[in-house]
Amino acid sequence: MDVTQFVDDRPADGVFRVNRAIFTDAAVFDREIERIFEGGWVFLGIASQAENPHDFFTTTMGRVPVMVQRDGAGTLRGFVNSCPHKGARLAQTRAGNARLHVCPYHSWSFDSAGRSKAVKSQRAGCYSAAFEQDDHGLAALPRFEAYRGFLFGSMAADVPPLADYLGEAAKLLDLVADQSEEGLELVPGQVTFTYEANWKLQLENCSDAYHFTSAHPSYIRVLERRQQELSADVVASVWENSDYWKEEAQGVAGGSYSFANGHVLNWGIFGITPAIPLYESAGALAERHGEGKRDWMFNMRNLTIFPNLQVAENASSQLRVIRPLAPGLTEMRTWCIAPKGESAAARRQRIRQYEDFFNPTGMATPDDTVSYENCQIGYGGTVEPWLQGYARGMTATVEGGNRFSELLGMSPARSVLADSQLCDETLFHSYYRAWAQRMAGGDAA
């Protein structure tokens, strides 16, 4: 595939453009599934989703149904969630506990390490010697690795180790994982939604500082109303207790970091405010990790680990898994992610802040997803196929990090230090450079 027809990347000319077809073309979509979602590292879930012996949870990588299972000794593994006999989906639920999985179709069974336990009536089956010599266990994912409790798998075996794939962006996962010595958990209650637009719109929007005051004025107005009439009925807003994002704000407000392999961060300075549930740990976190890293934990941070994981810590804290279903249809599975062991009051505050902002039944996310759908409709307009949404920050982006990344000992590929008005778009370049790299090249013979 000639990717230059989709991504026009000419740094020397100050040009970076993306073709609308990247969001609509069926051949592009099929190749994304093959090369990106079934051809490299994909986020599966976090270890606490299968906390105890024999716990499992299910997910997908591209078209592949996946089961992540902890065995009796505590080892986590990733399997294709499909019976080797006739291919039926084996585990039927999102999560559960099973020493033994019995296929509901013909009762082949498997232990929690994926080994075959029994082929029903095997001796009476008149099988050939060749069959008897076959392994009847579950197919393991070609690669399965964890980083700080974040679990990843790959359908391609020839990929670099996970640590290399994450690179310096791993330090941003540390900021999530280190908020409690006990680790992370997902608050009970998964929320799933779909939108009728391409998966890359979600990829971009998470990193898009430019849309916030345009797409969310109704939410911002609600926050202003609450701030004027504070009472026990309403939850404190992180946004209203910080000014960095407001269009009239002055000075350094945050910025962006770009990493190899398509990982990006968009961030802003919230400050140490009681509106953030982590406030109760502010002192302890500074002692444990130093003030620089502590302050980073309190920054607004929208992190994307390419291609399907986003951890958004802004109004509250959300873990998102992006699943492309069709060029114009995407499924989002979302959870409130939280440090284990926080106080009941902090947890309650986190949950209330989460529902209003992040839920598809709340007051912010629908104004994003409806905008994605408006984009998808607009992509039909191919008179001028090249989009102009990748140009802000072109003269501000610099190679390497800055004084803020130094606080984490983190070396990004590129960085932008921004005031509230800059709203960098060059961080999207990292997505599309990784995308182009994965999509380019010859087709298998």
Helix (H) or strand (E) holding 255: strand 254-258
Give the DSSP letter string of 196-225: SS-HHHHHHHHT-GGGHHHH-HHHHHHHHH
* Cβ closest to other proteins, residue 135 vs residue 233: 233
Spatial separation of the C-alpha atoms in residues 67 and 229, rounded to whole Å: 48
SS3 category, 427: helix
Of the candidates 196, 243, 280, 419, which one interacts with other proteins according to CB under 8 A? 196
Residue from 147, 149, 180, 193 in contact with other proteins (CB under 8 A) = 193
103 scored as a contact of other proteins (CB under 8 A): no
Q: Is 201 in the site for other proteins (CB under 8 A)?
A: no
Identity (one letter) of the amino acid at 161?
Answer: P
Q: Between 344 and 383, whose beta carbon lies closer to other proteins?
A: 344
> Cα dihedral angle (373, 375, 380, 383), rounded to 10 degrees?
170
Q: Which residues contact 125 (CB under 8 A, 6 or more apart)?
A: 119
What is the b/e burial string over 127-163, where b = at least 16 CB atoms within 10 angstroms of the residue's CB?
Answer: eeeeeeeeebbbeebebbbebebbbbbbbeeebeebe
For position 340 contacting other proteins by CB under 8 A, the verdict is no
Measure the CA–CA gap between 217 and 172, rounded to whole angstroms: 29
Give residues 219-238 in contact with other proteins (rule: CB under 8 A).
219, 221-222, 225-226, 229, 231, 233-234
Task: Name which of 117 and 352 has its Cβ closer to other proteins.
Answer: 352
H runs (alpha helix) in 229-316: 282-289, 291-298
Q: Which is nearer to other proteins, 286 or 370 (CB)?
A: 370
Give the interface segment with other proteins, choosing from 7-15, 67-75, 350-358, 434-442 (CB under 8 A).
350-358
The number of residues that bind other proteins (CB under 8 A) is: 48
Cα(311)–Cα(172) distance, integer angstroms: 10
**CA separation for the pair 11, 136 (Å, rounded):** 53
183/162 Cα distance (integer angstroms):
20
Q: Is 341 in the site for other proteins (CB under 8 A)?
A: no
Q: Please, what is the minimum distance in Å from the beta carbon of residue 330 to other proteins?
A: 10
Tell me if 370 contacts other proteins by CB under 8 A.
yes
**Contact string 82-101 vs other proteins (x = CB under 8 A):** -----------xxx------
The three-class DSSP label of residue 3 is helix
Q: Is residue 347 at the binding interface for other proteins, with CB under 8 A as the rule?
A: yes
Q: How far is CA 190 from CA 246, 306, 342, 354, 369, in A?
A: 31, 22, 20, 12, 18
Is 215 among the residues that bind other proteins (CB under 8 A)?
Answer: yes
Considering the rule CB under 8 A, would residue 52 count as an interface residue with other proteins? Answer: no
CB atoms within 10 A of CB 334: 23
Contact between 107 and other proteins by CB under 8 A: the answer reads no
User: Which residue has tokens 């009970």?
Assistant: 188
190 binds other proteins (CB under 8 A): yes
Token output for 41 = 């590292």
Shortest Å distance, C-beta 371 to other proteins:
6
Shortest CB 30 distance to other proteins, Å? 24
Q: Does 371 bind other proteins (CB under 8 A)?
A: yes
Looking at beta carbons only, is 316 or 405 nearer to other proteins? Answer: 316
Q: Is 218 in the site for other proteins (CB under 8 A)?
A: yes
Q: d(Cα 427, Cα 415) in Å, to the nearest integer?
A: 8
**Contact status: 187 vs other proteins (CB under 8 A):** yes
Residue 344 found at the interface with other proteins (CB under 8 A): yes
Does the protein bind other proteins through residue 335 (CB under 8 A)? yes
355 binds other proteins (CB under 8 A): yes
Which residues form the interface with other proteins (CB under 8 A)? 93-95, 187-196, 215, 217-219, 221-222, 225-226, 229, 231, 233-234, 331, 335-336, 344, 347-348, 351-352, 354-355, 359-363, 365-367, 369-371, 373-374
